Structure 1
Amino acid sequence: MDFFPVFLKLSNKKVLVIGGGEVACRKVDLLLRAGASITLISPQLHPYLAGLADSSQLTWIEKEYESDDITGFHQVWATTDVPSLNHQIFKDTDAQRIWTNVVDDPGHCDFITPSMIDRTPIQVAVSSGGASPVLVRFIREKLETQLPQNLSLLASYSGKQRQRIKQHYSTVDERRKFWERYFRLPEVENATSVEQLEVAFQRLLNQPDTSSGSLYVIETGGDPELLTLKALRLMQQAECVLYPEGNNDIFVDLCRRDAEREMYKESTIKQQVATLLAKDLRVCILVPKHAAPCGLDAICDEYNSSLIPCLG
């Protein structure tokens, strides 16, 4: 991992941008949306930035950069078109341990900006660490087509129900299961108003959860893209993942992040499944193609499950 992904709170933080051209325009626009307090140093200014300065949305200091200009700032952006100047800025800020981004130069960055999908308060960020911006843009475009436009509505509504839901469910596990059921309701997925979300919320609160433990058996192969959509959906729903000895690989990583993970052996798998299902957990067993553990058919029959094959 070349860069650790993190979301920074910049509201009212003092941010210095050095450079006044088109690159600065893009960065300043994002920083303003994050609520940063921006000071910009440059002898000249792009008309868009000049308009922001005239309307007091940023402070413009009309001068060439000097090393002591960085004092007192939480973050610095070097956006000039002079590489040697950008590198000097990074050297100066590094000495004062100020987080700095030299635009389009990952080797001189304490942090980088990813490609973003904004459904505030939901945000999705994609980065290649500067290796392939075009590929990142392609990935973002694909994600844009998959993420519903009502994500902002869903996130805002559900965030306001946190105390309310605690009055009905005392444990984190119960609340998590409620929200998983809620967000999968067709009327919630298609909602366009708070009123629609509230109707679905009230109905589900008054509907007892009769779910119990369940077992999914997923066949894996050499190519994760050959997994079926059903297999991926069930892997994301599983609360515990059992994977074969020595095969904690990409298929395990495709399961939900907060799922428990346990390695299984042929001698222990039956007992592991019984123990987990007794806790009413959704259990997923990952089975390599042509390498199903002995006794798996009997386990499937006992718990009314079946193997979901991979394609190809």
Structure 2
Amino acid sequence: MQYFPLFLDLSNRAVLVVGGGEVACRKIDSLLRAGAQVTIISPNIEPYLQRLVEQDKCVWIQNFYSSEHIRAEYVQVWATTNNPELNHQVYADAKKARILVNVVDDQPFCDFITPAMVNRGRIQLAISSGGASPVLVRNIREQLESMFAQNLGYQAEYAASKRNDIKRVLPSVDDRRKFWERFFDHPDIEHCKTRQQFETLYQEMLYAEVEDKASITWIEYGEDVELLPLKALRLMQRAEKIFHEQFCPFGFVDLVRRDAEREGFISEIELAAFLEDVRRDKLRVCVFIPPNSTKYHLLRGDDLFIRLGKA
């Protein structure tokens, strides 16, 4: 992983953009939508930026760039000119001042890069190839745009509005998580267009009786994690515990829910003891076992078993 993924809060934070052309327009538009306080340095700027300045949405220093323009108050510096030598000077000055800097379309001179985004209100999905293939990233973004419900942002807004209310009814973190899983899985959720529709569904499900029981899913591992079926990936994101044989590749275990407990085992006897605790505590569990293994048949019983796909 070349870049650490991070969402940065730029609300009321000072950002410097060197350059006033079309590239600067695109970057400044995104920065302003994130709430940044943008200062532009350039002898000339595009009409779009001129309008932003006239509306007091950003500040324009009408001058050529010099090293004195770099100040500690800036949390980011963007170099967007069509002059590589000038951009590299901006980079060197920002690095000297220990400020994060991005020289647009010049990856070796970037402390950070901006991903392609899928925006649904509060929901933001970022896709990046680390600068390797912008066209591939664009294609992925287009696919994701078609996959996600248009009301995804409203779903997030509604859930945020209920954070205090649901704590009153469901004090347990686990109970709240399970409720929201059921709520967002409901077939009607994608069709809710008004707050009242969300509220009706919420009230119906919040007070409905739900029987908790243990759920054990057995999943074959192999050499290629991309062969995992979608159903396995979905259940792995719901599991509260993961058991994996000692030779299971880390790539499979790494795809499970981040806060799920992970436990390795070396024998059927050890695993049987683990599963006894699972059934007693009514947990949702995934167990990774090698392909074509027969030694776990008795333990599996009638549990769900998912085979690895074929290449």
Which residue is equivalent to 1:166? Answer: 167
1:1-312 matches, within 5 Å, as: 1-71=1-71, 72-266=73-267, 267-292=269-294, 294=295, 296-301=296-301, 304-312=302-310
Number of residue-to-residue matches in the alignment: 308
Q: Distance in 2 between matches of 1:224 and 1:188?
A: 31
Deviation at 1:235, TM superposition (A): 1.9
The runs of at least 4 aligned residues of structure 1 exceeding 6 Å deviation read none
TM superposition shift of 1:182 = 1.0
Cα contact 1:217–1:287 (8 A) shared by 2: yes
Of residues 23-32 and 192-201 in structure 1, the stretch that sits farther from structure 2 once superposed is 192-201
| Structure 2 unaligned blocks of 5 or more | none
Letter in 1 for 2:16: L
- 1:216-271 per-position Cα deviation (integer Å, ceiling 9, x unaligned): 11123333333333222222221111111032422222222222111122241111
CA contact (8 A) 2:18 2:81 kept: yes
Cα distance in 2 for partners of 1:99, 1:229 equals 38
Aligned partners of 1:14 and 1:39 also within 8 Å: yes
Q: Deviations over 1:59-87 (max 9, x none)?
A: 11111101011113222111011111111
SS of residue paired to 2:153:
helix
Moved more, 234-243 or 14-23: 234-243
- Amino acid across the alignment from 1:97: R
Question: Hey, what's the Cα distance between the residues in 1 that align with 2:149 and 2:255?
Answer: 21
Question: By how many angstroms is 1:11 displaced?
Answer: 1.2
Q: Structure 1 CA distance, aligned partners of 2:289 and 2:230? A: 17
Deviation at 1:97, TM superposition (A): 1.1
Using the alignment, how far apart are the partners of 2:304 and 2:178 within structure 1? 24
- Classify the secondary structure of the residue corresponding to 1:75: strand
1:89 positional shift: 0.7
CA distance in 2, matches of 1:246, 1:299: 19
Query: Residue 146 of structure 1 aligns to which amino acid in structure 2?
Result: M
Q: Which amino acid aligns with 2:8?
A: L
Q: Answer whether contact 1:242 1:262 (CA < 8 A) is retained.
A: yes
Task: Report if the CA contact (8 A) 1:3-1:111 is conserved.
Answer: yes
Show structure 1 runs of 5+ residues with no match.
none
Matched-pair contact (CA < 8 Å) for 2:94–2:101? yes
Q: Return the alpha-carbon distance in structure 2 between the equivalents of residues 245 and 74 of structure 1.
A: 45
Contact 2:248–2:289, Cα closer than 8 Å, also in 1: no
Amino acid at match of 1:307: F
TM-score (norm: length of structure 2): 0.94
1:277·1:283 contact (CA, 8 Å) conserved in 2? no
Instruction: Tell me the alpha carbon deviations over residues 141-190 of structure 1, each in whole angstroms, 9 at most, x when there is no partner.
Output: 22212221111100000001011001111111111111111111111232
- How well do the aligned residues superpose, as a CA RMSD in angstroms? 1.5
Aligned residues of 2:221 and 2:248 also touching (Cα < 8 A) = no
Give percent identity, aligned residues only. 47
CA contact (8 A) 1:236 1:256 kept: yes
How many Å separate the matches in 2 of 1:5 and 1:227?
A: 24
CA shift for structure 1 position 18: 0.3
